Amino acid sequence: MARAATQKNRSELICGALRSAILERALLPGMKLPEDSLGERFGSSRTIIRQALERLAAEGLVELRHNKGAAVATPSLEEARDLFELRTHTEDLVIARLASGLSAQQKARLEEHIAQEEAASDGPEPLSIRLATEFHILMAELTGSPVLLRYVKELSYRCGLTLSQFSRPHSSNCGIQEHRDILAAMEEGDVEKARGIARAHLDSVSSRAQFDTGGKNGFSYLDALEPYASGVRGAD
């Protein structure tokens, strides 16, 4: 029992590290994720690596290809458009829940996250991208609805993946201000205003997903994983 729990915890750590690497664009769509190489990099068995990859596949971030192994998922532009439309409708529900009675504790959690985004705005763009994604996930978490949280998580992760496939660079400052505006409207209890800001925000993000990937796909670049893997190895 204890061994199984340890394996599960390690698998979750590796899953989190790989997810961050994908969302922060250290691993790009189409990059191969061989179990043996990942096992060596993370200092773990192939069984544990496989568990992590299966979980990421369930989130839509990894493709498990028969006789070809795993790779970072490669969404199509049509899928990207559908994902952003679904995300907009799902976040409408999240905002309606929060704006109907935003508590001081919920406000403080969101303000703390925006402060993290501001602190990261002058640093590497990938970190800002991940934090921007996690703001929307935090909103869903604060609704207290496991269903909304699950769907917003998956849609946010997959939208982030489509941006690494199709988007151009951007400034994080506009996104931070939009997050502030969403929070201010929810604090006022103005559901429609908050929804309008959020929709415009997501439209702005999705409009960047209109570009061909060129030659990004099909590479193995596992050295980019080292900053993520070292944290997992250090947890031993």
Residue bearing the bigger pLDDT, 14 or 169:
14
**Residue 110 one-letter amino acid:** L
Does the pLDDT of residue 220 top 80, yes or no? no
pLDDT of 89 reads 94
Residue bearing the bigger pLDDT, 47 or 161:
47
Residue bearing the bigger pLDDT, 10 or 143:
143
| Stretch 137-149: mean pLDDT | 96
| Stretch 145-153: mean pLDDT | 95
CA 24 to CA 124: how far, in whole Å?
A: 9
Assigned CATH topology for domain 2-74+217-233: Arc Repressor Mutant, subunit A (1.10.10)
Q: Pick the closest to residue 29 from 234, 235, 228, 218 (CA basis).
A: 218
CB atoms within 10 A of CB 219: 14
Does the pLDDT of residue 7 top 70, yes or no? no
pLDDT tens sequence across 179-216: 999 999 999 999 999 999 999 988 887 776 554 444 44
* Confidence band, pLDDT 50/70/90 cuts, at residue 217: very low
How does 114-141 read in b/e, with b if 16+ C-beta sit within 10 Å? beebbebbeeeebbbbbbbbbbbbbbbb
pLDDT of 98 reads 96
Percent of the chain predicted with pLDDT > 70: 85
| Stretch 1-21: mean pLDDT | 78
Backbone angles phi, psi at 24, to 5 degrees: -90, 5
pLDDT of 114 reads 97
Alpha-helical (H) ranges within 43-190 are 46-58, 77-99, 104-120, 125-142, 146-166, 173-188
Parts of the chain belonging to CATH 1.10.10.10: 2-74+217-233
pLDDT tens sequence across 50-103: 999 999 999 999 999 888 889 999 888 888 889 989 999 999 999 999 999 999
Q: What is the CATH number of domain 77-206?
A: 1.20.120.530
Parts of the chain belonging to CATH 1.20.120.530: 77-206
Residue bearing the bigger pLDDT, 232 or 170:
232
CA 103 to CA 142: how far, in whole Å?
A: 10
Does the pLDDT of residue 110 top 60, yes or no? yes
Residue bearing the bigger pLDDT, 229 or 46:
46
Does the pLDDT of residue 1 top 50, yes or no? no
**Residue 138 one-letter amino acid:** L
| Stretch 2-25: mean pLDDT | 81
Does the pLDDT of residue 5 top 90, yes or no? no
pLDDT of 140 reads 97
